[in-house]
């Protein structure tokens, strides 16, 4: 079921400052910020030869990462994203095996314009997993 590692996401309290550090200290290629109100985040991507890093900043009142940043004020690793060939088939397989899907269970369009779902971290060893249609 699992394909490539699409990205690892890091929640940050100040996106502009984080972009600056990735550009200056790590000499990274950073994309322009994208506001995703449906997901309650603003994101940028760091392009790596074999994957991507996503930097996330809260957007709006009830951002899903606001509570995370309260617990981790300087930021921290937030989720990992695996690609799957057929997201609805993967979802149905996960539900049948007892895993919990966050939200309505229906895929939403993510930062790359492709359907995504999030899996409950308690079902996966404390790690929030995002699945993205390849
Ligand atoms: Co993500």
Taking the CA atoms of 127, 65, 109 and 104 in sequence, report the sign of the dihedral they define: positive
Local structure of 61: helix, strand or coil: coil
Interval between CA 28 and ligand 1 midpoint (Å): 18
Interval between CA 56 and ligand 1 midpoint (Å): 8
Task: Please give the DSSP secondary-structure letter assigned to residue 50.
Answer: S
Q: Which of 54, 57, 83, 130 is catalytic?
A: 130
Residue 62: its pLDDT value, please? 86
Residue 90: its pLDDT value, please? 98
| pLDDT tens by residue, 24-65 | 999 999 999 999 998 899 999 999 999 999 999 999 888 989
Residue ranges making up the domain that contains 49: 2-133
| pLDDT tens by residue, 80-126 | 999 999 999 999 999 999 999 999 999 999 888 999 999 999 999 99
**Count of structural domains, the chain:** 1
What is the Cα–Cα distance from 67 to 52, expressed in whole angstroms? 24
CATH number at residue 119: 3.10.180.10
Q: What residues have their beta carbon closer than 5 A to ion ligand 1?
A: 9, 54, 81, 130
């Amino acid at each position: 079921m699992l394909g490539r590692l699409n990205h690892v996401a890091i929640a940050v309290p100040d996106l502009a400052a984080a972009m600056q550090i990735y550009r200056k200290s790590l000499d990274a290629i950073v994309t322009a910020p994208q506001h995703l109100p449906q997901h309650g985040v603003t994101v940028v991507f760091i392009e790596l030869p074999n994957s991507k890093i996503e930097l996330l900043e809260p957007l709006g009142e009830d951002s899903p990462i606001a509570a995370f940043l309260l617990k981790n004020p300087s930021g921290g690793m937030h989720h990992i994203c695996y690609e799957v060939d057929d997201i609805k088939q993967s979802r149905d397989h996960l539900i049948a095996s007892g895993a919990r899907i966050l939200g309505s269970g229906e895929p939403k369009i993510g930062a790359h314009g492709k359907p995504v779902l999030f899996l409950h971290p308690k079902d996966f060893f404390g790690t929030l997993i995002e699945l993205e249609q390849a």
